[in-house]
């Protein structure tokens, strides 16, 4: 059977008669039954900057739609599109879902759970389709914080050892989740956490001043499953100095504010992110190292079977902050990249780490004719002027800019806490990029008659060492691609 999210009633004292905004762009029917289509806000174009002291202006964003379906069976979906269009795209393309279109009524079936995006002509006015397995709470008395059907205003929810949060599929919770020095935490359910009421107050995303959807410092044994997270004030899902974290089937979407990275894994070990949908405005999934945790290496981190969308920045990323001794046993596998920002698979070793035993394998990357150039916003008066241009993101990039030299204004501190003797700073070795499948849109520019696929391996710091970096088996629209590497 299937069910779906409805946010019709309020069960808290903080609000009254609250309802989520219903979309005017779509009507959706599942197995013949109409379900509500809600709205959220995303970036209108890739135009980002370091925090300028105020949040991003609304005219740099736009409204899109989403449905939250909970199902344990094959479902038939019909979508009625209430505006004109010429082309229908149901993504990820790798799922090869057959779509029929009868005068604005689009039909398809979903045999499995997963996350999909319906686009008509471009990513503007898109429809997110989240089809999740049911995640139930057998006894609400066993849960520390139980959010049942309705709208709730919790603010910052601080978790302690052995605490849990359940979010019913019909629950919309305004707030964020926070923990420090805690263990054995579980956050689960099919409902929505919305951080839209949090105000950002600092340039830094590392500190507690602003929290985003989730922020965990120095925590162990964490499970986050099923929940939808939207409208973050800063980085969306944050792990700092954490161990043994399992993130499964979460959805990060509706992100448009400055610097809203999807998932930031900072000086952590034993981290698993799987079966999730991450649409970030800034970097999508990034593994970082900062001075506060410089003695904790990034180890045993694996991203698998995720659907990723990067508006501005990097999609699958190592760095650019790499303050620790070592990054090792890290993989990105079996992922679909719907939009790649400016780079799909990226290593930016900007600090002192030795980055090795890293793999990017079985990654599907979609290049769209409507992808426009990423622009850094220099001041409030500047406007985005690239809406009619096309920019093809890099497929692979390996670089080692000297972060402390070029970003001294960040005031990242000194490296005195770690003994760097005997280490080649910013070195990269034993890295594999394998089985990268590119879907290259008709109408995209060609370079010498061939698709423009950028593979960049550049040593910016001459004292570093690059060794054993392998690029193997790239296909473009199903055809093996003979690539060249920009290497210097």
| Tokens coding 259 | 């610097």
From CA 55, how far away is CA 219, in angstroms rounded? 29
Check if the beta carbon of residue 226 is closer than 8 Å to that of residue 247. Answer: no
Do 53 and 169 lie in one domain? The reply is no
User: In the predicted model, is pLDDT for residue 110 greater than 80?
Assistant: yes
Stretch 282-306: mean pLDDT: 96
Do 361 and 463 lie in one domain? The reply is yes
Quote the pTM value: 0.95
pLDDT confidence of residue 10: 36
pLDDT confidence of residue 277: 98
pLDDT confidence of residue 421: 63
Confidence of residue 270 (pLDDT cuts 50, 70, 90): very high
Q: Which of 83, 48, 115 is nearest to 276 (CA)?
A: 115
Q: Which of 132, 166, 200 is the last residue of a domain?
A: 132
pLDDT confidence of residue 425: 77
From CA 470, how far away is CA 242, in angstroms rounded? 30
Model confidence over 120-161: pLDDT tens digits?
A: 999 999 999 999 999 999 899 999 999 999 999 999 999 999
Do 273 and 399 lie in one domain? The reply is yes
CA distances from 405 to 324, 413, 487 (A): 17, 12, 23
Residue-range definition of the domain harbouring residue 50: 2-132
Do 444 and 378 lie in one domain? The reply is yes
Do 337 and 467 lie in one domain? The reply is yes
| Tokens coding 177 | 């989740």
Model confidence over 391-419: pLDDT tens digits?
A: 999 999 999 988 877 666 545 444 445 56
Stretch 75-94: mean pLDDT: 97
pLDDT confidence of residue 261: 98
Q: Which of 80, 112, 132 is the last residue of a domain?
A: 132
From CA 303, how far away is CA 252, in angstroms rounded? 15
Q: Which of 257, 268, 264, 273 is nearest to 206 (CA)?
A: 264
Stretch 377-382: mean pLDDT: 95
Stretch 9-25: mean pLDDT: 59
Is-cis flag, bond preceding 459, omega within 30?
no
- In sequence order, what are the beta bridge partners of 304? 274, 333
CATH code of residue 457: 2.160.20.10
Do 123 and 218 lie in one domain? The reply is no
Q: Which of 42, 32, 30, 27 is nearest to 4 (CA)?
A: 30
Q: Which of 132, 164, 184 is the last residue of a domain?
A: 132
Do 387 and 431 lie in one domain? The reply is yes
CATH code of residue 41: 2.60.350.10
User: In the predicted model, is pLDDT for residue 91 greater than 80?
Assistant: yes
pLDDT confidence of residue 8: 56
From CA 261, how far away is CA 189, in angstroms rounded? 23
Q: Which of 334, 364, 345 is nearest to 436 (CA)?
A: 364
More confident residue, 447 or 10: 447
Tell me the backbone φ, ψ of residue 449, rounded to 5 degrees: 85, -5
pLDDT confidence of residue 6: 79
Stretch 172-177: mean pLDDT: 97
User: In the predicted model, is pLDDT for residue 204 greater than 70?
Assistant: yes
More confident residue, 18 or 301: 301
Do 172 and 120 lie in one domain? The reply is no
User: In the predicted model, is pLDDT for residue 314 greater than 80?
Assistant: yes
Q: What is the signed CA dihedral for 349, 320, 398, 355, rounded to 10 degrees? A: 40
Looking at the structure of the chain, the number of domains it has is 2
Backbone torsion region of residue 410, taken as left when φ is above 0, otherwise alpha when ψ lies between -120 and 50, otherwise beta: alpha
| Tokens coding 388 | 């009619």
More confident residue, 85 or 402: 85
Long-range contacts of 407-411 (CB under 8 A, 24+ apart): none
- In sequence order, what are the beta bridge partners of 455? 396
Do 107 and 145 lie in one domain? The reply is no
pLDDT confidence of residue 488: 59
Do 17 and 124 lie in one domain? The reply is yes
Do 385 and 353 lie in one domain? The reply is yes
More confident residue, 408 or 216: 216
Mean pLDDT of the chain: 92
From CA 54, how far away is CA 200, in angstroms rounded? 8
Model confidence over 218-243: pLDDT tens digits?
A: 999 999 999 999 999 999 999 999 99
pLDDT confidence of residue 401: 87
More confident residue, 294 or 402: 294
Residue 298: other Cβ atoms inside 10 A: 26
Check if the beta carbon of residue 25 is closer than 8 Å to that of residue 44. Answer: no
Residue 404 neighbours by CB under 8 Å, 6+ apart: 350, 351, 412
Model confidence over 446-464: pLDDT tens digits?
A: 888 889 999 999 998 888 8
Is residue 131 helix, strand or coil? strand
pLDDT confidence of residue 19: 61
| Tokens coding 252 | 């990060």
Confidence of residue 322 (pLDDT cuts 50, 70, 90): very high
% of the chain exceeding 90 in pLDDT: 83
Do 124 and 144 lie in one domain? The reply is no
């Amino acid at each position: 059977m299937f069910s779906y999210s409805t946010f019709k009633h309020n069960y808290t004292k903080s609000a009254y008669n609250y309802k989520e905004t219903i979309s005017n762009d779509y009507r959706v029917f599942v197995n013949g039954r109409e379900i509500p289509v809600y709205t959220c806000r995303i970036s209108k174009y890739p135009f980002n900057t370091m925090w300028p002291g105020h949040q991003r202006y609304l005219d740099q964003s736009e409204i899109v739609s989403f449905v939250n379906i909970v199902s344990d069976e094959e479902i038939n979906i019909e979508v009625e599109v209430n505006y004109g269009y010429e082309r229908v795209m149901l993504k990820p393309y790798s799922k090869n879902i057959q779509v029929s279109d009868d005068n604005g009524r689009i039909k398809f079936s979903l045999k499995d759970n997963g996350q999909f995006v319906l686009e008509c002509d471009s990513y503007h006015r898109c429809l997110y389709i989240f089809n999740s397995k049911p995640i139930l709470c057998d006894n609400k008395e066993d849960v520390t914080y139980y959010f049942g059907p309705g709208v709730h205003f919790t603010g910052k929810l601080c978790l302690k050892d052995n605490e849990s949060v359940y979010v019913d599929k019909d629950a919309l919770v305004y707030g964020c989740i926070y923990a420090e020095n805690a263990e054995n935490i579980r956050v689960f359910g099919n409902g929505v956490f919305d951080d839209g009421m949090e105000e950002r107050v600092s340039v830094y995303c590392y500190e507690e001043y602003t929290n985003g959807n989730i922020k965990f410092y120095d925590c162990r044994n964490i499970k986050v499953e099923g929940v939808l997270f939207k409208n973050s004030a800063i980085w969306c899902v944050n792990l700092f100095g954490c161990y043994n974290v399992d993130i499964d089937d979460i959805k990060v979407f509706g992100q448009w504010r400055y610097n809203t990275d999807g998932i930031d894994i900072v000086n952590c070990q034993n981290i698993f992110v799987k079966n999730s949908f991450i649409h970030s405005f800034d970097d999508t999934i990034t593994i970082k190292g900062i001075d506060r945790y410089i003695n904790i290496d990034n180890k045993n981190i694996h991203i698998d079977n995720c659907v990723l969308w990067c508006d501005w920045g990097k999609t699958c990323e190592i760095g650019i902050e790499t303050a620790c001794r070592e990054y090792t046993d890290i993989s990105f596998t079996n992922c679909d990249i719907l939009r790649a920002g400016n780079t799909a698979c990226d290593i930016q070793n900007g600090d002192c780490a030795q980055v090795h035993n890293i793999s990017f394998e079985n990654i599907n990357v979609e290049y769209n004719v409507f992808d426009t150039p990423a622009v850094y916003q220099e001041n409030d008066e500047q406007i985005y002027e690239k809406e009619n241009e096309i920019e093809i993101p890099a497929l692979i990039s390996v670089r080692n800019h000297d972060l402390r030299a070029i970003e001294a204004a960040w005031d990242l501190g000194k490296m005195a806490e770690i003994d760097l003797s005997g280490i080649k700073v910013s070195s990269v070795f034993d890295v594999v990029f394998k089985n990268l499948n590119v879907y290259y849109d008709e109408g995209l520019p060609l370079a010498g008659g061939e698709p423009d696929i950028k593979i960049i391996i550049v040593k910016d710091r001459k004292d570093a060492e690059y060794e054993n970096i392998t690029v193997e088996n790239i296909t473009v629209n199903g055809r093996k691609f003979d690539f060249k590497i920009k290497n210097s």
